[in-house]
């Protein structure tokens, strides 16, 4: 006969007032900006144990710890050399552009750096191209969206070598350039093969026999 447990001992167990006071202090200290390691060291428990305790009370890395300290920390103004190196403009000019414009500029600049073309556009000039095209709201990924493309594929991304076109147009021009390059390579290979066949034909000809003079010793 199976024995029926009348109640759950784990649930029915009375809360330890010492542990409850400790957990309350852990929550207060974490909400004030202390880290998991610092709190765990004070109570001789691991950081993972502190995290699990905080999770029971709805605290995590988004509303406590370093997040609180960074939120209350005053932000430093942008450094002039950094703005000139990354955005190509001064800190005063950088403040005129929105966060979305800065992020989009850095995203395309990073994508271009993964390939060979050089990037010579500054943030003001890049935004100016999009403003004049009136296609800012239509930019993005996809064949029907607009993007910044080079006029001369051999040149860099500069003010006189970029245009705003649909992505499928840029892709088609790239395929056409690749097909033209393949045709040039094929013609070069054909010419080389003709030259190789001609050289093979010449080398296969029997060489003229050399007659020895009379009385010559072997």
Indicate if 58 and 107 belong to the same structural domain. Answer: no
- Please name which of 170, 152, 162, 79 lies closest in space to residue 126, comparing C-alpha atoms: 162
The reported pLDDT for the residue numbered 137 is 85
Give yes or no: residues 112 and 162 share one domain: yes
Residue 122 belongs to a domain: yes
Residue 117: name the closest of 167, 174, 84, 158 by CA: 158
Residue 41 lies in a domain: yes
Q: What average pLDDT does this structure show over 107-133?
A: 86
The reported pLDDT for the residue numbered 78 is 65
pLDDT of residue 68: 83
Q: Give the model confidence (pLDDT) of 31-75 as tens digits.
A: 888 989 999 999 999 999 999 999 988 888 888 888 888 776 776
- Residue 151 within any structural domain of the chain: yes
Same domain? For 37 and 103 the reply is: no
Could you give the maximum distance between any two Cα atoms of the chain, in Å? 129
3 in a structural domain: no
Q: What is the DSSP letter of 159?
A: T
Residue 169 in tokens: 């147009």
Q: Is residue 52 part of a domain?
A: yes
Averaged pLDDT score across all residues of the chain: 77
Least confidently predicted of 40-44, 69-73, 165-169, 193-197: 193-197
Q: What is the mean pLDDT of residues 122-138?
A: 88
Range of the domain at 42: 15-72
Give a yes or no: residue 141 inside a domain: yes
In a shared domain, residues 63 and 127:
no
**In the predicted model, what is the mean pLDDT of residues 106-111?**
88
The answer to which of 79-93, 128-142, 193-207 has the lowest mean pLDDT is: 193-207
Q: What is the pLDDT of residue 190?
A: 60
pLDDT tens digits for 135-156?
Answer: 888 887 777 788 888 888 788 8
Residues 60 and 106 in one domain: no
Residue 107 domain-assigned (yes or no) = yes
Give the residue, 62 or 5, on which the prediction is more confident.
Answer: 62
Question: 63 lies in a domain?
Answer: yes
Q: How many domains does the chain have?
A: 2
């Amino acid at each position: 006969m199976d024995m029926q447990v009348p109640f759950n001992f784990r649930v029915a167990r009375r809360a330890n007032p010492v542990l409850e006071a400790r957990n309350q202090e852990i929550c207060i200290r974490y909400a004030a900006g202390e880290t998991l390691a610092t709190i765990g060291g004070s109570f001789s428990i691991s950081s993972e144990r502190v995290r699990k305790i905080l999770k029971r009370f709805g605290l995590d890395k988004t509303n406590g710890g370093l997040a609180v300290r960074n939120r209350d920390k005053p932000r430093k103004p942008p450094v002039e050399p950094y703005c000139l190196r990354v955005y190509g403009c001064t800190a005063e000019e950088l403040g005129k552009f929105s966060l979305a414009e800065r992020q989009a500029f850095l995203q395309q600049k990073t994508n271009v750096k993964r390939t060979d073309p050089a990037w010579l556009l500054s943030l003001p000039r890049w935004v100016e191209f999009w403003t004049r095209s009136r296609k800012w709201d239509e930019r993005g990924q996809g064949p029907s969206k607009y993007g910044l493309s080079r006029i001369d594929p051999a040149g860099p991304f500069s003010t006189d070598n970029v245009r705003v076109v649909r992505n499928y147009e840029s892709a088609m021009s790239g395929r056409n350039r690749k097909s033209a390059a393949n045709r040039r390579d094929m013609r070069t290979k054909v010419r080389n093969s003709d030259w190789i066949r001609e050289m093979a034909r010449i080398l296969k000809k029997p060489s003229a026999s050399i007659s020895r003079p009379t009385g010559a010793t072997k």
